[in-house]
Structure 1
Amino acid sequence: MSQKPAAVPVAGSSRNTGRNTGRFTGVWIALLSSAVFGLSGSFAKGLMEAGWSPAAAVTLRMAGAALVLMVPAVIAMRGRWVLLRTNWIPILLFGLFGVAACQLFYFLAVQRLDVGVALMLEYLAPVLIVLVLWARHQRRPRIPTIFGTLLALMGLMAVLDLTGTTSIDPIGVLWGLGAAVGLTVYFFVSARVDGALPPIMLSAGGLTVGAAMMAVIGALEILPMDMTFTEVNLAGMQTQWWVALGGMILLSTVIAYVTGIMAARALGSKVASFISLTEVLFAVLWAWLLLGELPGLIQLLGGMMIVGGVVLVRLDELRRPVKA
């Protein structure tokens, strides 16, 4: 078989090389996002054990992150304020559904279901994304994507270690599915928003909208807004409440959302959403390190299954000419 001379550059191949390099980088950014997102559970648990309500922790998490991001977001805009006018709908959708509604519906589901069941329902989002793309493009997912979907969900179930009898409340299931819809919107908006809008501005704008929504919910007393300013237990030590809150704001929100949007733009909504499943694995590992909750063998096996499912979907995505 003849070969092209090595000295002759091929424009198409160079573009493909650059695209593949960007996607490879996107995978690592997505994993970083999952890792820091996974920290939120450990930080929040310390606050809640000290007397904080979930709604109060979520509201201050969003408001604090929005304040931190606003100045660099304004600098990143470089005076291109027309981008806010042309992207106000994606920012609104991102804040209402991808940020506020996703977390609110999850907490409402937790009130009626076991935490593991509620989280399992929320992470049906990757399956919803595959179904939406299937319906929109009238193209059935290929075998690797279908198998990777099933494998990742089985791994997620193993990581959550859903054993014993669990009470299933229909209203709680609806709230859990609502959280999945919110997470689905998060990935679609992150991937489809105008690429000229800096990811940091999308994060700041969405978090501002989400914090405002949660403030309204608190004012209407839909959820309690309880806060205490005592020491919290973190990593086996007693530390100030603002350490846990600051970690949740800076690591699990500011860095997590910005890198999550960057990953969704680089990889597309489908692949980014599947890689986000590793957040559960990271959450288990962080809980082990910070809270002394040692994961079991079944959870480690589930983590390997999640990674295997992500790899299958990723390989299938690379074979497609159009990014989903």
Structure 2
Amino acid sequence: MATMTHDTAVQRLRSGLILAVVSASSFGLSGALARGLMNAGWSAASVVAIRVLVAAAVLVPIAARQLRGDWQLLRRNGFLITAYGLVAVAGTQLAYFNAVAHMEVGAALLIEYTAPIAVVGWLWLRHSQRPGTATVAGAALGITGLFLVIDLRSGLTTSGVGIAWALAAMVGAAGYFVLSAHGDGTLPGTVLAAGGLLIGGLALLAAGAIGIVPLHATTNPVDFQHFTTAWLTPVLALGTVTAALAYVSGIAATRLLGSRLASFVALFEVLAALIFAWALLGEAPRLIQLLGGALILGGVIVVRRGEVDATEAPADEFATER
């Protein structure tokens, strides 16, 4: 029985890791596609708003079928869905865009992607899940790799306002993993993603309407490194791949892995973004960035090793978070 339980836990980890890498890779594609649209005259907020609303349009019919008329399920999880939409979707995006308005993108990304440390701290304080040696060592490797991947240069300027917004984006990113792992056990991940994306998209439109973020778009052709395409193609890819697929697989991965390990695997998004930027925009990664990617991979492996060992304990993250 103990062997079967251990094998099941290891299988959950493997399945969760595959889904987490799919999610991180899908999220990573968004930057290159969004850059193409922004170069064609779109505002960043417009790209995000159309991205999440297209994803909501894709997922809502699927979510409705999964609900099978059980609207009471939505009411029971209304707070979770609303929090997911406002914090994990809209809040994170708005905070990040306001951060880059006051500081360099690399510095803002570095602050936002310290979210795994915030997740570890939250689980420690809220659920008494003290991080083990493997988690601490993996965090050190992963964050060091993140420094190298982002490749911060000397002379970067920041401001107190920019740092505050970047910290808010970090909190929102941490909230994504914490909220994705929760629920009453009956709420399908697709329903959570669809509801959150719809609420988040409407919140972004409202933010644009009152002037918090600029909303403007064009129908100009979109240029990438080796081809030019109509604006609709990257918009559909953003909505279906980098949002619908990314959020659904991310929720499923977090429910399998727990918010702690899932947040570390999500660091692959930065490396994936570099690879897609190389393929679509011709922005070749530097050697130091490839070294950073290797360190991120090493950090995830170390944290994963710790999670496998933890499955043998009687009280672990799977018991407290599911």
Superposition TM-score, scaled by structure 2 size? 0.95
Identity of aligned residues (%): 42
Contact 1:234–1:244, Cα closer than 8 Å, also in 2: no
C-alpha separation in 2, matches of 1:64 and 1:108: 23
Structure-1 residue corresponding to 2:302: 312
1:38 correspondence with 2:28: yes
Q: 4+ residue runs of structure 1 moved beyond 6 angstroms?
A: none
1:264 correspondence with 2:219: no
SS in 2 for 1:153: helix
C-alpha separation in 2, matches of 1:40 and 1:294: 17
SS in 1 for 2:223: strand
Contact 1:53–1:224, Cα closer than 8 Å, also in 2: yes
1:15 correspondence with 2:5: yes
C-alpha separation in 1, matches of 2:189 and 2:127: 27
Structure-2 residue corresponding to 1:203: 193
**In the alignment, residue 253 of structure 1 is paired with which amino acid?**
A
Report the Cα offset of residue 12 of structure 1: 3.0
1:280 correspondence with 2:252: no
Contact 1:129–1:184, Cα closer than 8 Å, also in 2: yes
**In the alignment, residue 132 of structure 1 is paired with which amino acid?**
W
Matches within 5 A, 1:49-198: 49-138=39-128, 140-198=130-188
Point out the structure with max Rg over C-alpha: 1
| Aligned residues: CA RMSD | 1.2
Report the Cα offset of residue 315 of structure 1: 1.1
SS in 2 for 1:206: helix
SS in 1 for 2:228: strand
C-alpha separation in 2, matches of 1:23 and 1:317: 8
Task: Count how many residue pairs are aligned between Structure 1 and Structure 2.
Answer: 314
Superposition TM-score, scaled by structure 1 size? 0.94
Report the Cα offset of residue 22 of structure 1: 1.8
C-alpha separation in 2, matches of 1:262 and 1:139: 21
SS in 2 for 1:38: helix
| Offset from partner CA, 1:60-80 (integer Å, 9 cap, x none) | 111111111110111112233
**In the alignment, residue 133 of structure 1 is paired with which amino acid?**
L
Unaligned runs of 5+ in 1: 1-10
**In the alignment, residue 32 of structure 2 is paired with which amino acid?**
S
| Offset from partner CA, 1:67-97 (integer Å, 9 cap, x none) | 1111011111223322211111110110000
SS in 2 for 1:270: helix
SS in 2 for 1:192: coil
1:303 to 293, 302, 313: 293
C-alpha separation in 2, matches of 1:121 and 1:137: 24
Unaligned runs of 5+ in 2: none
